Amino acid sequence: MGWLARMRGDTEKPAGQGRPAHVFFTNTLSGSKELFIPLKPGIVTMYSCGPTVYNRAHIGNLRAYVFSDTIDRTLVAAGYRVRRVINITDVGHLVGDGDEGADKMAVGAAREHTTPAAIATRYTKLFIDDISELNIATDDILFPRATEYIKEQIALAKTLEEKGFAYRLHDGLYFDTQKFPGYGKLGGISDAQLEAGARVEVVKGKRHPADFVLWRTAKPNDLQQWDSPWGRGNPGWHIECSAMIRSLLGQEIDIHTGGEDHIGVHHNNEIAQSEAANGRTFVRYWMHSAFLTMGGEKASKSLGNVVYLSDIVEKGFHPLALRYFFLQAHYRTPLSFSWDALAAAGSALDRLWRLSRDIAEESKRTSKPSEARDSFLAILRDDLATPQALASLWDALRSEEYMPEEKWGLIETADAHLGLSLATPPETKALTSADMPAELQQMLAERETARSSKDFAEADRLRAAIEERGYRVDDGPEGPVLTPRTL
Ligand code: AMP
Ligand code: ZN
CA distance readout (Å), 81 to 115, 244, 254: 38, 20, 12
Q: Is the pLDDT of residue 292 over 50?
A: yes
- 266/197 Cα distance (integer angstroms): 12
- 99/395 Cα distance (integer angstroms): 51
Q: Is the pLDDT of residue 471 over 80?
A: no
Residue 198 is predicted with a pLDDT of 59
- Per-residue confidence band for 338, with pLDDT thresholds at 50, 70 and 90: very high
Residue 297 is predicted with a pLDDT of 86
Candidates 103, 275, 302, 96; CA nearest to 203 is: 96
Per-residue pLDDT tens digits for 184-203: 999 887 766 666 665 545 67
Span from the CA of 252 to the centroid of ligand 1 (angstroms): 24
Span from the CA of 61 to the centroid of ligand 1 (angstroms): 4
Q: Is the pLDDT of residue 256 over 90?
A: yes
The least confident of 50-54, 320-324, 463-467, 472-476 is 472-476
User: Which residues form ligand 1's pocket by a CB distance below 6 Å?
Assistant: 49, 51-52, 60-61, 63-64, 258-259, 261-262, 291-292, 298-300
- Per-residue confidence band for 231, with pLDDT thresholds at 50, 70 and 90: very high
Q: Is the pLDDT of residue 459 over 90?
A: no
Residue 192 is predicted with a pLDDT of 63
- Per-residue confidence band for 308, with pLDDT thresholds at 50, 70 and 90: very high
Residue 10 is predicted with a pLDDT of 43
DSSP letters spanning 121-186: HHHHHHHHHHHHHTT--GGGEE--BGGGGHHHHHHHHHHHHHTT-EEEETTEEEE-GGGSTTTTTT
Per-residue pLDDT tens digits for 401-430: 999 999 999 999 999 999 999 999 998 666
Residue 485 is predicted with a pLDDT of 63
Residue 431 is predicted with a pLDDT of 66
Span from the CA of 271 to the centroid of ligand 1 (angstroms): 19
Per-residue pLDDT tens digits for 56-94: 999 999 999 999 999 999 999 999 999 999 999 998 888
| Most confident of the following: 2-11, 16-25, 366-375 | 366-375
